[in-house]
Every structure is written in structure tokens, then in C-alpha cells.
Amino acid sequence: MDFVTGEIFYVDKPLEWTSFDVVKRIRGTLLRRLKVKKFKVGHAGTLDPLASGVMIVVTGRATKLIDSLQAGVKEYVATIKLGATTPSYDLETEIDARYPTDHITEELILATLPRFKGRIEQIPPAFSAVKIGGERAYKMARRGEDVALKPKVLVIDEIEMTDWDPETSSLTLRIVCSKGTYIRALARDIGEALGSGGHLTALRRTRVGDATIDMCLTPEQCVELVKQVPLTFPDDYEGPKEV
């Protein structure tokens, strides 16, 4: 493999790992294998620590492809707990309000979901990496400051219910959407539309562009691949090749 010209890894990011944790693990192994102190490794499309699934990691000169790779359509499986909200719209923060759910039926859910298909406007979460005056919104939110974010236009290509458990008020959806969609914010908006509030309790990304979850390796499998695969180098590479 030619990591200098560039290779692309499809990684199944584990729960509670940051996207940077995955990049750091692969980069560290590459630095040792190539016997260099610096080497470009990047990722296309950040996943929150509370989410798992498809993450694209690129090396060397292929990092120039990051913008095009992360522009691909994404697919998620999301579980939403109805009847309760949190400031972050997921499990990062504690429940701040509870609402009744007795009125929610499968029929109501199926009638409501089409409102979120197609081009929609979405206000990003306050607990997000969106910048306000040069500062990340989540830093302001964690200090208890009011965060006012503008809505942005995005596209939901598909949204379907795959499971509804009325006893636990737990709703599972499959969502196909454009880059920049916050599934946490979608959980908030669906909860509001159902008159019950809601927050995200589980999220798994199953596709980014042409990369699907069944094509992914674990971080450790990626590390073993980097350690063992025969290496090739471009003609203009000036670093050590006896690796």
C-alpha cells in the first residue's frame, strides 16, 4: 500500500471514541512504520463520541479528497426517546423536562415523519462545533451562555420508522440525509412535532457515500493492516523506505 500517495480506510468508529481518537491511533502506527515524525492523516465527517459507525480516514496526499468524500449522502439508524428533553438533545446532558406520551401512536408517527422529508430548515444544536464569533457554540453552551444559531437548509432523502416501543416511548428511525445534518436536532424537532419532546439515545452511521458499514474495519484491524502490509512509495518520496 502507498500511504504517501494516499490510502482510504473505512473504519467502524467505536462508541465513546472521538473521531480524533481513530485518526490518532492510525497516524501513530503510520509514524512508527514509516519512521517519520510527521505524516498527514485526516478524516471525512466527524462522529460524536456517543455515535458509532462509518468513518472515512485518509492518509498522505489523499487528504486533499476529504471535502469530496464527506460530501457524500449519509445513512443513520437513530433511536429517539420521546417524552423527555435534554439541553444537548442527546445523552451528553441530563434530562431537563418531561412530557406525556400517552397520545403517541404508530399512526401519529407515520403521519408526522413525512414533514421531515425533502428540503428542510434545521437549527443546529447549541452543543455543536458551529462557530459564533470565532468560538465553538458548545463551549459557550457549557458555560451556560445563550447560544443563538441560524437555521440552515439541508436535505432528508429518506426517513422511515423501523421500530416503535410504546412501553418505553422509544422510536427507531432509518435516515438518509445530506452533509451537515444534525440527527440530534432532528430528534428534537420530531419530538416537538409529536408534542412530547425527545432526545437521541443511540446513533449509528451505516453509510457515507459509497462506503457502507459492512466494508468497515475496526480501528485495531486498521492498525494491524498498517503494521503488516507491504509498502510502496511514489518516485518523489524522500523519506526512509527501508521500513
The active-site residue, picked from 48, 67, 157, 189, is 48
Cα separation, 152 vs 155, whole angstroms: 10
Q: Which of 223, 204, 201 is nearest to 213 (CA)?
A: 204
Say whether pLDDT at 134 is over 80.
no
Respond yes or no: is residue 2 known to be catalytic. Answer: no
User: Mean pLDDT across the stretch 148-161?
Assistant: 91
What is the tens place of the pLDDT at every residue in 81-129?
999 999 999 999 999 999 999 999 999 999 999 999 999 999 887 777 7
Output the pTM of the full model: 0.90
Q: Which of 82, 47, 87 is nearest to 163 (CA)?
A: 82
What is the tens place of the pLDDT at every residue in 29-43?
999 999 999 999 999
User: Mean pLDDT across the stretch 193-209?
Assistant: 97
| Residues whose CB is less than 8 angstroms from the CB of residue 130 and which lie 6 or more positions away in sequence, other chains included | 124, 136, 137, 149
Q: Which of 200, 205, 169, 211 is nearest to 83 (CA)?
A: 169
Residue corresponding to grid cell 485495531 = 220
Say whether pLDDT at 243 is over 70.
no
Mean of pLDDT over the chain: 92
Cα separation, 117 vs 158, whole angstroms: 6
